[in-house]
Structure 1
Amino acid sequence: MTDRSIAAAAAATDNHVPYRRIFLTGGSGYVGRNLIRHFVGRGIEVVALVRSERSEHVVGLLGAHPYRGDILVGDLTAAMSGCDGFIHAAADTDHGPATNRQRQVNEYGTRAVMEAARAAGIRKVVHLSTESVLATGKPLVNVDETMPMPHKFAGGYSRSKAAAERIALESDAPEFSVVVLRPRFVWGRDDTTALPALIEAVRSGKFAWIGGGTYLTSTTHIANLCVAVERALERGRGGEAYFISDGMPVPFRTFVSSLLETQRLIPTGKSVPRSVVGTIAAIGDLIALVSAGRITMPLTWQSYATSAVEISLDIGKARRELAYSPVISREQGLEELRSGQHW
């Protein structure tokens, strides 16, 4: 992040950092890279799990110690030895039809790393989850952590991440504190996920608003998420989940338009009725199910549930218990993107 963001993040955290060495999964991903920058900048040693030579190079350049391995293969206890904190950021985030691979990574992988971390003597864990654990396709309006998980999930991503969250929280113990964070729509500098997908949709002519795009959405700038993770390590109560966001929600169309405009792109005014999009998504899921995944459609109910209806979060619990507050505003984050500066 820029010098301003780093200064804001540092000012928002206590001078005393209770963790000296942190183990991180998903270190080469968008969130992982920024977590490395954040904690290395705070003087904390980071050991990052990587699966490839390229990822090893990426996290090494960021100042972390790469450890070659896989959450599904072998025991990571030795790799975690000497670490006092653990951040589990690795996940299969595909919003297409459910796959066995996604279930293995998100569910079995979470169980494996929790068992390894406990055996390694790690005392505090932050598991990165998502608001999508509540997604069904219906609006989520100003929801807080008291809302129970649904009986039927929007898709494989929601289902597997909900299972992963349950596994993580069930691992919580007096000597092994596990805290869950649920950010929504992570965005900002160095984004290799949401923004590139939006850019591609606009440039290919496939972009259209759903129902006009006027519904509200919560968002989470990457700098705010990094601070939230540090707060969770410091103050989070074991066995608890916390929603994280940039504060007040914003109309989806307003925010996405602003994101695209930072890249000198003007989104189309074309809009498709929500009912039509919902029908297409439902048919796509049915085709994928009947064909056993051999035939897939470009739109699934999972992607519909996370982008076509209001999703606004109440972060009061994080404010009270984690002393969390956003350190960078949406306008500041958009200005970073407009500036085009490199990390």
Structure 2
Amino acid sequence: MGGSLVTRLIKDGHTVRALARSDASAAAEALGAAPVRGDIGDPTSLREAMTGCELAFHAAARTTRGGDRVRFWADDVQGTANVLRCAREAGVRRLVHVGTEAALMDGRPLVGVDETAPLRPGSRAHYAASKAAAERLVRDAGGLETVVLRPRFVWGAGDTTVLPELVAMVRGGRFAWIGGGRHRTDTTHVDNAVEGLVLAAERGRPGEGMAELRAQAPE
């Protein structure tokens, strides 16, 4: 999604900086963005990357199935806290945060939910809990405008995670679908996700605080 977003922003005439943790920065250059080496765990690099920028998009997260709760909290929650603080210090006007419907998971099916559904930072699933806590930080952030999107099951050209794994499972005879193939789910093509991110940056209404509940770090 990051690469597709960069391509769209460049096409729309924006000057783009892309935070890169590794030699993947070359890919950012090929797309027309200026790569800035750094990490969401390194506030100095974040501040350098965002200084002089009007908008910031935060799409980084720990999405692997491995890792304990502390690792997820460090990457998703503390990383997001770093992004928010550095965005304020760098003078960013608006930050668009890529959330997930997993932040609403409490062990029951999510049917017809919308933005009024409560976040679940106490979820037993590490990814769900950390993304819920991270989103709460974004929605409670002061000093800059924040907008959250939750694209579900993003797929499309350039996907290196979801589609390759699904294809491998189908070819290996290991693919199964809950409910005998009748269980419904939502999906989002990457182009639609990017369109949503752009609209959030241009027209989104900044979120309101959720002071009644605060994210608590794990033991």
Does the TM-score normalized on the shorter chain lie above 0.5?
yes
Query: How far is the alpha carbon of 1:96 from its aligned partner?
Result: 4.3
Query: Would you say the 8 A contact 1:187–1:194 is kept in 2?
Result: yes
Query: How far is the alpha carbon of 1:129 from its aligned partner?
Result: 0.4
Distance in 2 (alpha carbons) for counterparts of 1:97 and 1:104: 11
> What does 1:269-308 correspond to in 2, within 5 Å?
none
Secondary structure of 2:32's partner? coil
From 163, 171, 183, the equivalent of 1:203 is 171
From 186, 189, 197, the equivalent of 1:218 is 186
From 90, 107, 119, the equivalent of 2:60 is 90
**Tell me, which stretches of 5 or more residues in structure 2 are unaligned?**
210-219
Distance in 2 (alpha carbons) for counterparts of 1:67 and 1:102: 24
Which amino acid is 2:29 matched to?
G
Q: Structure 1's 232 and 202: CA in aligned 2 closer, same or farther, altered over 3 A? A: same
Query: How far is the alpha carbon of 1:71 from its aligned partner?
Result: 1.1
RMSD: 1.7
The corresponding residue for 1:335 is none
Query: Would you say the 8 A contact 1:172–1:238 is kept in 2?
Result: no
> What does 1:249-264 correspond to in 2, within 5 Å?
none
Which amino acid is 1:38 matched to?
R
What is the TM-score with the length of structure 2 in the denominator? 0.89
In the alignment, is residue 180 of structure 1 matched against residue 148 of structure 2? yes
From 48, 51, 75, the equivalent of 2:18 is 48
Secondary structure of 1:38's partner? helix
From 223, 226, 231, the equivalent of 2:199 is 231
Secondary structure of 2:150's partner? strand
Query: How far is the alpha carbon of 1:205 from its aligned partner?
Result: 2.5
What is the TM-score with the length of structure 1 in the denominator? 0.58
Query: How far is the alpha carbon of 1:234 from its aligned partner?
Result: 1.1
The corresponding residue for 2:26 is 57
Which amino acid is 1:155 matched to?
A
Which amino acid is 1:181 matched to?
L
Secondary structure of 2:112's partner? strand
Secondary structure of 2:97's partner? strand
Which amino acid is 1:68 matched to?
R
Which amino acid is 1:39 matched to?
L
Q: Structure 1's 74 and 122: CA in aligned 2 closer, same or farther, altered over 3 A? A: closer
Distance in 2 (alpha carbons) for counterparts of 1:87 and 1:41: 16
Q: Structure 1's 189 and 151: CA in aligned 2 closer, same or farther, altered over 3 A? A: closer
Query: How far is the alpha carbon of 1:74 from its aligned partner?
Result: 3.8
Query: Would you say the 8 A contact 2:177–2:183 is kept in 1?
Result: no
Distance in 1 (alpha carbons) for counterparts of 2:32 and 2:201: 20
- 1:117-168 per-residue CA deviation (whole Å, 9 max, x = no partner) reads 1001110110100011011231111111111124742500000000110111
**Tell me, which stretches of 5 or more residues in structure 1 are unaligned?**
1-30, 242-343
Secondary structure of 1:166's partner? helix
Query: Would you say the 8 A contact 1:135–1:154 is kept in 2?
Result: no
Report the identity percentage: 46
Secondary structure of 1:179's partner? strand
Higher strand share: 1
From 93, 115, 118, the equivalent of 1:148 is 118
The corresponding residue for 2:82 is 112
Q: Structure 1's 233 and 67: CA in aligned 2 closer, same or farther, altered over 3 A? A: same
Query: Would you say the 8 A contact 1:97–1:155 is kept in 2?
Result: no
Structure 1: 4+ residue segments shifted above 4 A:
none
Aligned residues: 208
